[in-house]
Amino acid sequence: MLMSGFPPPPEDRVTLHNWQDPPFNRWSFSHLRELVPAQPITNRGPIRFPVDDPAVDLDSQPVALADGSETSFANLLDRTYTDALVVISDGVIRYERYFGESRFDRTHLLMSVTKSLVGCVAGILADRGLLTPDSPLTTYIPELADSGYAGATVRDVLDMRSGIKFSEEYTDLDAEVRVMEEAFGWRPASHSEVPRSIYEYLPTLTNERDHGGIFDYRSAETLVLGWVCERAAGARMADLIGDLLWTPMGAQFPAEITCDSLGTAIHDGGMCATARDLARFGELLLHQGQLDGLEIVPTEWLKSSWRVDPDIREAFDRSAAGPYLPGGWYRNQFWFLPRRHGDVLLALGIYGQMLYVNPGTRTVAAKLSTWPDAQSPILLNETISAFDTVGAALAGLPADLHGGHHGTPGIASGRVL
C-alpha cells in the first residue's frame, strides 16, 4: 500500500521522481502538500449552498463509449479512473462519489482547472480597473521586455495566442513544459542551469511567430497571466483567489495552491480543492458569475467568453485541439464546446480533471481523476458525453447517447449568453 508504514518501503514511496506517474498519482493528487510547498486559500464566509440534499442513483444510467458501445455510468467512472465526482442539477447535489484516497473534505490537485480560476481573477481585476486586457504585458511585467513575450498583450495570454515558443508535450523530457516543472519544483532539476523559480524561468522563453495568431495551448501563458494579476493587484495569487472567489462564493473548505521555492504560486496548475467546492465554482459560472444577488465574477466577462467570435473560432479550428473538440473555442482560460442542449463550458486539467457547466441542462459536474496518462482524447470525450447524458436525464430532456455535437455555437438554454 502506497505510503503505508513508517518509513514506507522504497517501492511504496511517493516522491518528486514518481508522483505524477501511475499508480503513485492516486495517492499524491490527494496529498500534494506533503510533497511540495503550498499556500492556503481561505474560505472566511458562510457556505452558500446546501450539500446534503437527497441523491439520485445514476449508477445504472446508460452512457456511450467512443467505440459506439454502451456502458453504465458507474462503469464509466471506473473506466476513467475517477477519484471524486459531484453532479449538481438545478442547484441540488444529485450524485456524489469518492474513491481511493479521496474524501468529501480532502483537497485534490486540479491541475490546469486552476487556469480557469486565474482567468476569473483577471476578469474581476479588469472589471475593477486594475488590469486592462489590451495592454502590453510589459505594462505590468517589465522583466519580459527582452523575452519572447515582448510585444504581446494580456489578451494574447488570456486566450493562449501569443507567439511564444513552448512545447506542452508531456512525454518529451526536453520540452519546455518539463523544464518549467523543474523550475518550479514539481520535478527534480535535471542539471544545474535550470532556473530555480517561475519568474526566473519565464523571461528565458523565446518567440517563434507573431502574437495574436493561432490558439496554442501552453501553460506558460497562465503563469504570465498570474504574474500580471499579482502585479496589478499587489497581492499574491493565493490571497486573490481566496478574497475574490473562494470566500464570496461560499466555499465549504479551504483550498491551497502549490508554490515554488520563492513562494510564487503555480498559477497554471497548482491549485488543490475539494470536489464539492469545485462544483460550487461551477454553479457560480452557471449563474453568470452571480450568487444570491451578488456579482462575484463580472457577468459581462463570462458572457464575452461564452459568445462565439469568428476570429476565436478560426484560431481554435486551426489548432492541434480543433480535431478533438470540433466546433469548440478557447477564451479567457475556459474551453467551450457546442452540444445537443447548448454550449458547454469546460475547465480541464491533465490526468482527467474536469469542471463541466451546461446551462442547457442546468447541470454542473466536477470530476477529479488520476488517468494513467497525462492526456487521453478518448477518456476526455467519453466523460463529456456521459455528462451530457446524465445532465439531460436529470433535466427531463432527451438523452441522445450517441448524439455528440448537435448544438449551434453561441446558443445555450435557447438564449445567446
Just list the catalytic residues.
Answer: 112
Residue 402's DSSP bridge partners are none
Q: Name the helix (H) or strand (E) containing 413.
A: none
Residue 123 DSSP SS3: helix
Dist CA 248 CA 41 (whole Å): 12
Q: Which three cell numbers stand for residue 202?
A: 519565464
Residue at 226: amino acid letter: G
Residue 353's DSSP bridge partners are 349
* DSSP-derived secondary structure for 280-328: HHHHHHHTTTEETTEESS-HHHHHHHHS--HHHHHHHHTSTTTTTSTT-
Residue recorded with cell 455535437: 405
Dist CA 321 CA 391 (whole Å): 25
Burial readout 283-301 (b: 16 or more C-beta within 10 A, e: otherwise): bbbbbbbebeeeebbbeeb
CB 281 within 8 A of CB 355: yes
List strands edge to edge, sheet with 108-109. 38-41, 255-258, 271-273, 108-109
* Cα 249 to Cα 13, 42, 292, distances in angstroms: 37, 12, 9
Dist CA 35 CA 214 (whole Å): 36
Neighbours of 19 (CB within 10 A): 21
Dist CA 112 CA 333 (whole Å): 9
